[in-house]
Every structure is written in C-alpha cells, then in structure tokens.
C-alpha cells in the first residue's frame, strides 16, 4: 500500500473549514494558519500531502488540492471518535497531564481505546498516500501512537514527530496508565521534536525510567546537529529503541510567520483607541479560553491594582479577546464562567456609564483585526500557568519593531526562554503578576528608552527566529538522519532485552 506523495504532514486538523453560505450551500474552504504557512514551502516543493480530520464529525470532503497544489486528504471521524479520542483522551487526559495537572486528568479506558482506534485510522490513511521512502511529519499530542503504528505498517518511511505542548516531568507522566504504549508510539519516529531543552530533558529522563532501560543515551547534549539558537541552548541526543534504531530527540522552538504579520495603519490604531474611550494605557490579553492560559489570574491582578489605586480606572482599559475552545468539556465551561464572572464584577466595581474598564470578546477574530489590537496595546499580558511555547507573545512582539509597548510574560510559557527581556512573572503568585504589570506600566511612563531597548531586543529575537527557521531546522535534522541501527561492541543492540520500548501496537 503506497501513494505518490513524498512528503506528508499529519495533524489532528486538516487546514480546511466547512463554510455555510447564506443560501445554505456548504463548501470546504482551505484555512490558513501558522503551521500551514511554515510547512507550505516544503509541501509545495515535494508534491506534498496533508492528512487530517476536517473538523466536522461524520463528514469529509473528497481529497482535494489547495491553491498551492498541496493535496488535502481527510480522515473521517465519527461523533463517538470525536468524543473519546479528541474531547476525552486528548483534551481531558493528556492536555491536563502535560500541563502539570492545572486540573485533574481523567483516566478512562474507553477514551484510551478511542485514542488508539483513531491513531490506527490516521495510520491507514497515511499509509495510503505516502510514497515509498516518503518523509512523514506527525504533529502533536493527539497522534502520539502514530509513529509506532506507521513504523510497523510502513518500515520504509522516514518519520518525524513534533509535540506542540510541553512534555511533562517523568514523575507526572508516569501517572498515565498507558505510559509505555505512548512512549513506544513516540519512539517509532526517527526524530522527536519538542519546543524546549527542558522538555527534551524530561523525555530523555523518562525513557530511562519507564520500562527499565529503554535505550541507551549515546547522547552528549550537543550530539545531534540542530541549527544554532543563542537563547535556547542547542540540545539533541540520540536514544536507541529496542529494535536498534537510533531515535533523535531535540529542541526546536516554534515561532511565527513574520511575512504574514500586517502592520496596521495609524488611523486604525487611533480609531480603536477612541472607540474604547481614549485611555492612557491599553492592556491586552489574547488567548484560547483555556484554563492553562491564566486569564482569571490576570483579571484578578488587574482588579487588585485598580482597588489599590496603582492603576486608575479612568486611565486604563483591559481588552480581553478569548477564542471559544473545547466548550463541551466541563473544565472549560468552569474556566469560562469564572472569567466572565470576574469581568462582570470588575466592570461593576470600576466602570462608569459608557466606559467599561474591561472589554471582553468571546470570539475568534480575523488576523487583520488581531494585528490592530496588538499594535494598539501598550502592555500585553501573557500569563499562562503552563504553555508549550505561546505564539501570542511572539505575535505581539512582531508588531512592535519600533520599540513601543511592553510584554508581561509568564515564566511558565515556553516563549519566556527566548523572550527573557520581557517583564517576567509567576502567574501562581498574584503579587508577582501585579509587580510585573506595574513595572511595565512604570517603565513605559518613566523610563521609555529602557522599555524600547527591551522591546527592540525581543523583536530582533522573533525576527531572526521565525517559523521558517523552525520548519527548516527540523527538516534538515530529519534529512541528515539515517535511523540506522546502532551496534555495541558486543554486537547487541543497546536497549536491553527487557522492557523494550519499540514493541508492537496491536489492533485489538
């Protein structure tokens, strides 16, 4: 079973949306996004294919080519798949576990079965479209079994895997009843990419702990060649799976596509400021409405700063744009109602007629509109309790190349490793959050040159480390990877005889 695509991207979501026209006609339309932009050049060059779920249960378009000639190949999921695989195992088990238990993960056997079944479905589709010897790049936590299944189905493939969320510490990961299966699945890849060196360390330490010895580190941290990162220390190591293959594990911090960032016209910024009452200071939060993003904490810090008089409600406005997300999951409903209650309370206490202090939108907005918000904001608040990277922080910085603005950034967002000139805070500590906001506001008012220097430095980091660098570093690393077996002097393959991690994923 093989197709004719020599480069295949596999992600939970196919970059398409089902659009309903006013006359009721439905149409599948390609949807752009950062990942699509990053991978388009290589997909176009290699007659590529993107395999994913089109976002609607029990429906899928026929495979079709987008404007760039990339084949979009849907995986059809049922409503039951969606509930068990996506809402259940991916987002109520793995998501909270990988984000350091901000809420309690649910361990449910039926969800696990659904996760495995859906990973098998994806594998069948990939096996159908991938050419002999093709490179397959699997994306994210929903598809962690896929590399292992593909390794069995199609040993000819070169397989990469990238995790967009944090990889947790081994002590947390080991809670997972299916931990060995997940590690086995991941180690089916030739190269595993994570955002940060600390996530790489977590993964390497874990593979030492689970299943006894799962593979030897041949790894000096710098053994794997990854293109230079002055802020994020180069790290890469090889571990050896039980079948003797060398598996690379390395850090590739994701970024944004700067060429798609539109600098708004001055009039657009002026108009927005006027619309919200021409405040002296505009603060901004932009997030999926997710309990990991620390939206409530940010609101509480803002409220206390108003209460103490550190911020003047006549002079400051907070814009909070929250994209609806995973709304059928209980914890997300709770997070939303807490946020909305806080918005209501703060406005009730500090707003005047026609002049709210918090403007709250619970919807997705077009990128062009988002750019106006970013460009207008004097202080950007990114206060995640845990975040693999956080692209919002980088998008804000991208729009402030002139040195304007200030970024308050959680030290628990992956982006803080690169953006260390931001006003860093610990979102678990309300005092720290308040201090960082205050410092940013004071710096803008009293020490603008220093604030500008900091923002320019942040901008330079994002400008020189864009998503194209991320994609090309990963591809280069894959290309240089042979995945050959490693033989010890004794002739054995390292990895030991027991507790091996590259075993079989069965279909039952």
CA distances from 14 to 56, 199, 324 (A): 11, 26, 19
CB 500 within 8 A of CB 214: yes
390 touching ligand ADQ, by CB under 6 A: yes
CB 276 → ligand ADQ: shortest distance, Å?
17
In this complex, which beta carbon is closest to ligand ADQ, that of residue 66 or of residue 255? 255
11 part of the interface to ligand ADQ, by CB under 6 A = no
- Distance of alpha carbon 14 from alpha carbon 38, whole angstroms: 15
Q: Does 471 bind ligand ADQ (CB under 6 A)?
A: no
**Which of 152/323 has CB closer to ligand ADQ?**
323
Q: Which stretch binds ligand ADQ (CB under 6 A): 108-116, 258-266, 281-289, 301-309?
A: 281-289
389 lines the binding site for ligand ADQ (CB under 6 A): yes
Least distance from ligand ADQ to the Cβ atom of residue 436, Å: 18
d(CA 355, CA 351): 6
Cα torsion through 453, 458, 464, 466, rounded to 10:
-160
| 395 counts as binding ligand ADQ under rule CB under 6 A | yes
Which residues are bridge partners to 139 per DSSP? 162
Binding to ligand ADQ, residues 164-183 (CB under 6 A): 164-165
* Secondary structure string (H, E, C) spanning 159-219: EEEECCCCCCCHHHHCCCCCHHHHHHHHCCCCEEEECCHHHHHHHHHHHHHCCCCCCCECC
- Measured distance between the N- and C-terminal CA atoms of the chain, rounded to whole angstroms: 21
321: contact with ligand ADQ by CB under 6 A: yes
For ligand ADQ, the binding residue among 76, 288, 355, 435 (CB under 6 A) is 288
370 contributes a contact to ligand ADQ by CB under 6 A: yes
- Residue 136's H or E segment, with its range, is strand 130-139
Give the DSSP letter string of 215-275: --B---TB-S-----SSS---EEEEE-TTSBEEEEEE------GGGPPPPPHHHHHHHHHH
Sequence-distant (6+) residues with CB within 8 A of 109 are: none
How far does Cα 32 stand from its chain's mean position?
16
Joined together, the tokens standing for residue 372 give 């106006």
Give min distance, CB of 287 to ligand ADQ, in A.
Answer: 6
Alpha-carbon distance of 472 to 234, in angstroms, equals 15
Examine residue 36 and tell whether it contacts ligand ADQ (CB under 6 A): no
Q: How far is the CB of 362 from ligand ADQ (least distance, A)?
A: 9
Options 323, 347, 432, 472; binder of ligand ADQ; rule CB under 6 A: 323
Residue 387 in the binding site for ligand ADQ (CB under 6 A): yes
* Region binding ligand ADQ by CB under 6 A among candidate stretches 38-46, 210-218, 233-241, 283-291: 283-291
Asked if 319 touches ligand ADQ (CB under 6 A), the answer is no
Whole-angstrom Cα Rg for the chain: 23
Pairing of strands 191-194, 158-162: parallel
Q: Which is nearer to ligand ADQ, 116 or 293 (CB)?
A: 293
Report the residue number, 142 or 390, with the smaller CB distance to ligand ADQ: 390
Q: How many Å separate Cα 296 from the centre of its chain?
A: 20
Site string for ligand ADQ, 52-71 (x = CB under 6 A): --------------------
- For position 254 contacting ligand ADQ by CB under 6 A, the verdict is yes
Q: Does 364 bind ligand ADQ (CB under 6 A)?
A: yes
- Binding region for ligand ADQ (CB under 6 A) out of 126-134, 338-346, 364-372, 436-444: 364-372
If one asks whether residue 383 binds ligand ADQ (CB under 6 A), the answer comes out as no
Q: With respect to ligand ADQ, which residue has the nearer C-beta, 111 or 412?
A: 412
* Residue 42 touches ligand ADQ, criterion: CB under 6 A: no
Q: For ligand ADQ, which is the closer residue by CB, 278 or 364?
A: 364
Binding site residues, ligand ADQ, CB under 6 A: 34, 164-165, 254, 286-288, 321, 323, 364-365, 370, 387-392, 395
């Amino acid at each position: 079973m093989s197709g004719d695509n020599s480069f295949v991207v596999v992600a939970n979501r196919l970059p398409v949306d089902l659009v309903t026209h006013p006359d009721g006609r439905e149409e599948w339309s390609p949807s752009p996004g950062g990942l699509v932009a990053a991978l388009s050049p290589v997909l176009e060059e290699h007659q590529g294919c993107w395999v994913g779920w089109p976002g609607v249960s029990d429906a899928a378009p026929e495979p079709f080519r987008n404007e760039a000639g990339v084949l979009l190949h849907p995986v059809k999921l049922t409503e039951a798949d969606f509930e068990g695989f996506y809402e259940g195992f991916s987002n109520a088990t793995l998501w909270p576990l990988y984000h350091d238990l901000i809420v309690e993960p649910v361990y449910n056997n039926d969800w696990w079965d659904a996760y495995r079944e859906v990973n098998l479905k994806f594998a069948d589709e990939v096996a159908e479209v991938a050419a002999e010897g093709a490179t397959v790049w699997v994306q994210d936590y929903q598809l962690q079994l896929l590399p292992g299944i593909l390794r069995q189905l199609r040993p000819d493939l070169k397989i990469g895997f990238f995790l967009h969320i944090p990889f947790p510490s081994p002590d947390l990961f080991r809670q997972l009843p299916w931990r060995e299966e997940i590690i086995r699945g991941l180690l089916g890849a030739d190269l595993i990419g994570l955002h940060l060196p600390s996530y790489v360390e977590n993964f390497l330490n874990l593979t030492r702990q689970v299943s006894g010895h799962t593979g030897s580190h041949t790894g000096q941290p710098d053994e794997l060649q990854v293109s230079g990162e002055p802020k994020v220390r180069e790290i890469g190591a090889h571990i050896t799976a039980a079948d003797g293959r060398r598996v690379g594990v390395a850090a590739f911090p994701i970024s944004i596509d700067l060429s798609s960032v539109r600098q708004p016209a001055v009039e657009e910024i002026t108009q927005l400021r006027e619309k919200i009452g021409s405040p002296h200071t505009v603060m901004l939060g932009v997030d999926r409405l997710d309990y990991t993003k620390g939206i409530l904490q940010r609101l509480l810090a803002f409220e206390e700063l108003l209460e103490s008089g550190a911020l003047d409600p006549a002079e400051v406005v907070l814009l909070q744009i929250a994209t609806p997300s995973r709304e059928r999951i209980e914890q997300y409903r709770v997070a939303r109602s807490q946020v909305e209650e806080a918005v209501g309370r703060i406005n009730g206490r500090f707003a005047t007629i026609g002049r709210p202090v918090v403007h709250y939108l619970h919807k997705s907005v077009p990128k062009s509109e988002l750019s106006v918000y970013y460009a207008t904001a004097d202080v950007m608040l990114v206060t995640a309790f845990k975040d693999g990277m956080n692209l919002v922080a980088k998008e804000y910085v991208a729009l402030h190349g002139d040195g304007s603005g200030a970024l308050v950034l959680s030290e628990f967002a992956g982006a803080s490793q690169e953006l260390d000139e931001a006003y860093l805070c610990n979102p678990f500590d309300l005092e720290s959050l308040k201090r960082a906001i205050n410092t940013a506001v004071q710096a803008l008012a009293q020490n603008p040159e220093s604030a500008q220097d900091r923002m320019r430095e942040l901008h330079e980091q994002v400008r020189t480390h864009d998503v194209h660098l991320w994609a090309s570093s990963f591809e280069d690393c894959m290309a240089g990877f042979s995945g050959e077996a490693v033989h010890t002097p004794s002739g054995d393959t390292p990895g030991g005889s027991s507790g091996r991690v590259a075993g079989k994923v069965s279909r039952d």
